[in-house]
Structure 1
Amino acid sequence: MMIRLWIFILLLFLSIFAKSQKTDSLRPKDSIQTISGVVIQSAPRNIKLNDGNMILNISGNKDFKTAVNILEVLKKTPGVTVDQEDGIFLNGRISPAIFIDGKPVVMSSQELQAYLRSLSPELVESLEVNSNPSSKYDAEFKGIIDIKLKRNVNLGWKGSYSGNLSVNKFNYRENSLNISYNTEKATYNLQMGYNSGISTYRYNALQKLANTNVMRTNTYQKDEATIGNLQAGIDYRINDKNRLGFTIRGNFREHDRNRSGMLYTTNNDETQLVFNTASENPIDYKQKNYGITTDYSYQNKNFKLSFLGNYLLVENKQKDDFINRDAPTSQVLSYWKSDLINKINIYTAQLDASQKLGNANLEAGIKFSRSHTQNNIRYDTLSVNEEFTFDPTRSNRFSYKEKILAGYVAYNHKFDKLQINAGLRFENTKSISDAITVDSIVSRSYLEWLPSFNAQYTFNKSNELSISYSRKITRPVFSQLNPFRYYFSPLNYWIGNPYLRPSFTNQLKATYRYKSWITSLTVGKENDVMTRYPLYNPSTNVLEYLGTNLPYRKFATLETSFPIKLTKWWSMNSQIAGYYNDEFRPYLNEVFALKIYNYEIRLNQVFSLPKGFTINLFTNYESRTGNSLYIIKPRYSVDISVQKSWFENTLNTKISFNNIFDTYDQRLEFRHKQIMDNRFTHWWDSRRLVFSLSYSFGNSNFQTKEIQKTEEENRTR
Structure 2
Amino acid sequence: MYAKLWIFILSLFLSFFAKSQEILNAKVSDSIKQKDSIATISEVIIQSSRRDLKLNDGNIVMSVSGNKDFKTSTNILEVLRKTPGVTIDSENGIFMGGRINPAIFINGKPVLMSNQELQSYLRSLSPEMVESIEVNANPSSKYDAEFKGIIDIKLKKNTNLGWKGNYIGNTSINKFNYKENSLNLSYNTEKIGYTLQLGYNNGISTYRYNALQRLANTNVMRTQTYQKDDAEIYAIQMGVDYKLNDKNRFGVNVRGNFRDSERIRLGSLYTVNKDETQLVFNTESKNPTNYFQDNYGVTTDYSFQHKNFKLSFLGNYLSVENKQKDDFLNNDMPTSQLLSYWKSDLLNKISIYTGQVDVSQKIGGATFEAGAKFSDTKTNNMIRYDTLAVDKQFIFDPTRSNQFSYKERIFAGYLAYSRKFNKLQINAGLRFENTQSISNAVTIDSVVARNYLKWLPSFSASYAFNKSNELSFSYSRKITRPVFSQLNPFRFYYSPLNYWIGNPYLQPSFTNQIKATYRYKNWVTAFTVGKETDVMVRYPIYNPETNVLEFLGTNLPYRNFATLEMSFPIKIAKWWNVNSQIVGYYNHEFRPYLDEIFALKIYNYEIRLNQVFSLPKGYTVNVFTNYESKTGNSLYIIKLRYTVDISVQKAWFDNKLNTKISFNNIFDSYDQRMEFRHKQIMDTRFTHWWDTQRLIFSLSYNFGSSKYQTKDIQKTEEENRAR
TM-score scaled by length of structure 2: 0.94
Contact 1:486 1:495 in 2 (8 A): yes
Is 2:415 the counterpart of 1:409?
yes
The equivalent residue for 1:667 is 673
Letter in 1 for 2:104: I
> What is the distance in 2 between the residues matched to 1:391 and 1:588?
30
Alignment of 1:338-377 (within 5 A): 338-377=344-383
* Cα 1:656/1:28, change in 2 over 3 Å: same
> What is the distance in 1 between the residues matched to 2:157 and 2:288?
45
What SS class does the counterpart of residue 437 from structure 1 fall into? Answer: coil
Q: What's the offset of the Cα at 1:17? A: 5.4
Q: What's the offset of the Cα at 1:148? A: 1.1
Alignment of 1:283-682 (within 5 A): 283-682=289-688
> What is the distance in 2 between the residues matched to 1:677 and 1:106?
40
Alignment of 1:685-696 (within 5 A): 685-696=691-702
Aligned match for 1:143, one of 145, 149, 152: 149
Letter in 2 for 1:214: V
What SS class does the counterpart of residue 618 from structure 1 fall into? Answer: strand
> What is the distance in 1 between the residues matched to 2:440 and 2:241?
41
Q: What's the offset of the Cα at 1:313? A: 0.9
Contact 1:43 1:515 in 2 (8 A): no
The runs of 5 or more residues in structure 1 that have no matched partner are: 1-12, 705-717
Contact 2:74 2:127 in 1 (8 A): yes
Is 2:100 the counterpart of 1:113?
no
Deviations 1:236-260 (A, max 9, x none): 1100000011111110111110000
Letter in 2 for 1:527: T
The equivalent residue for 1:175 is 181
Aligned match for 2:229, one of 214, 218, 223: 223
> What is the distance in 2 between the residues matched to 1:434 and 1:260?
34
Letter in 1 for 2:406: Y
Contact 2:51 2:522 in 1 (8 A): no
> What is the distance in 1 between the residues matched to 2:164 and 2:20?
41
Decide which moves more: 662-671 or 153-162: 153-162
Is 2:264 the counterpart of 1:258?
yes
> What is the distance in 1 between the residues matched to 2:378 and 2:69?
42
Letter in 1 for 2:602: I
> What is the distance in 1 between the residues matched to 2:579 and 2:669?
22
Contact 1:140 1:472 in 2 (8 A): yes
Moved over 3 A (4+): 13-24, 42-45
Give the length in aligned residue pairs.
Answer: 691
What SS class does the counterpart of residue 611 from structure 1 fall into? Answer: helix
What SS class does the counterpart of residue 63 from structure 1 fall into? Answer: helix
Q: What's the offset of the Cα at 1:28? A: 2.3
The runs of 5 or more residues in structure 2 that have no matched partner are: 1-17, 710-723
What SS class does the counterpart of residue 438 from structure 1 fall into? Answer: coil
> What is the distance in 2 between the residues matched to 1:443 and 1:248?
34
Contact 1:108 1:314 in 2 (8 A): no
Deviations 1:265-323 (A, max 9, x none): 00011111000000000000011111111110000010000000111111110000000
What SS class does the counterpart of residue 46 from structure 2 fall into? Answer: coil
What SS class does the counterpart of residue 385 from structure 1 fall into? Answer: coil
The equivalent residue for 1:715 is none
What SS class does the counterpart of residue 573 from structure 2 fall into? Answer: coil
Contact 1:191 1:230 in 2 (8 A): yes
Contact 1:419 1:457 in 2 (8 A): yes
Q: What's the offset of the Cα at 1:44? A: 5.5
The equivalent residue for 2:130 is 124
* Cα 1:436/1:23, change in 2 over 3 Å: closer
> What is the distance in 1 between the residues matched to 2:135 and 2:328?
43
TM-score scaled by length of structure 1: 0.94
Contact 1:592 1:628 in 2 (8 A): yes
Q: What's the offset of the Cα at 1:97? A: 0.6
> What is the distance in 1 between the residues matched to 2:20 and 2:492?
46
What SS class does the counterpart of residue 276 from structure 2 fall into? Answer: coil
Decide which moves more: 28-37 or 75-84: 28-37
Q: What's the offset of the Cα at 1:27? A: 4.1
Letter in 1 for 2:503: N
The equivalent residue for 2:65 is 59
The equivalent residue for 1:713 is none
Letter in 2 for 1:163: G
Deviations 1:49-82 (A, max 9, x none): 1111111111111111111111101111101011
What SS class does the counterpart of residue 78 from structure 1 fall into? Answer: coil
* Cα 1:417/1:44, change in 2 over 3 Å: farther
The equivalent residue for 1:707 is none
Contact 1:503 1:528 in 2 (8 A): yes
Contact 1:106 1:312 in 2 (8 A): no
Q: What's the offset of the Cα at 1:120? A: 1.1
Aligned match for 1:270, one of 251, 268, 276: 276
What SS class does the counterpart of residue 147 from structure 1 fall into? Answer: strand
Q: What's the offset of the Cα at 1:118? A: 1.0
Letter in 1 for 2:691: D
Is 2:85 the counterpart of 1:90?
no
Letter in 2 for 1:483: P
> What is the distance in 1 between the residues matched to 2:104 and 2:49?
26
> What is the distance in 1 between the residues matched to 2:679 and 2:121?
43
What SS class does the counterpart of residue 443 from structure 2 fall into? Answer: helix
Is 2:73 the counterpart of 1:73?
no
* Cα 1:16/1:388, change in 2 over 3 Å: farther
Aligned match for 1:196, one of 191, 199, 202: 202
> What is the distance in 2 between the residues matched to 1:437 and 1:483?
10
> What is the distance in 2 between the residues matched to 1:241 and 1:685?
51
> What is the distance in 2 between the residues matched to 1:499 and 1:279?
33
Q: What's the offset of the Cα at 1:38? A: 3.0
Contact 2:27 2:44 in 1 (8 A): no
Q: What's the offset of the Cα at 1:103? A: 0.9
Letter in 1 for 2:254: I
> What is the distance in 2 between the residues matched to 1:603 and 1:574?
5
> What is the distance in 1 between the residues matched to 2:241 and 2:38?
55
Deviations 1:298-353 (A, max 9, x none): 00010000000111111110000000000111110000000000111111110000
> What is the distance in 1 between the residues matched to 2:634 and 2:361?
49
Contact 1:255 1:286 in 2 (8 A): yes
* Cα 1:404/1:250, change in 2 over 3 Å: same
Q: What's the offset of the Cα at 1:31? A: 4.4
Deviations 1:177-198 (A, max 9, x none): 1111111101111111100000
CA RMSD of aligned residues (A): 1.7
Deviations 1:103-124 (A, max 9, x none): 1124222221211111111111
Q: What's the offset of the Cα at 1:22? A: 7.9
The equivalent residue for 1:249 is 255
Q: What's the offset of the Cα at 1:86? A: 1.3
Q: What's the offset of the Cα at 1:43? A: 5.5
What SS class does the counterpart of residue 84 from structure 1 fall into? Answer: coil
> What is the distance in 1 between the residues matched to 2:131 and 2:255?
22
> What is the distance in 1 between the residues matched to 2:656 and 2:215?
61
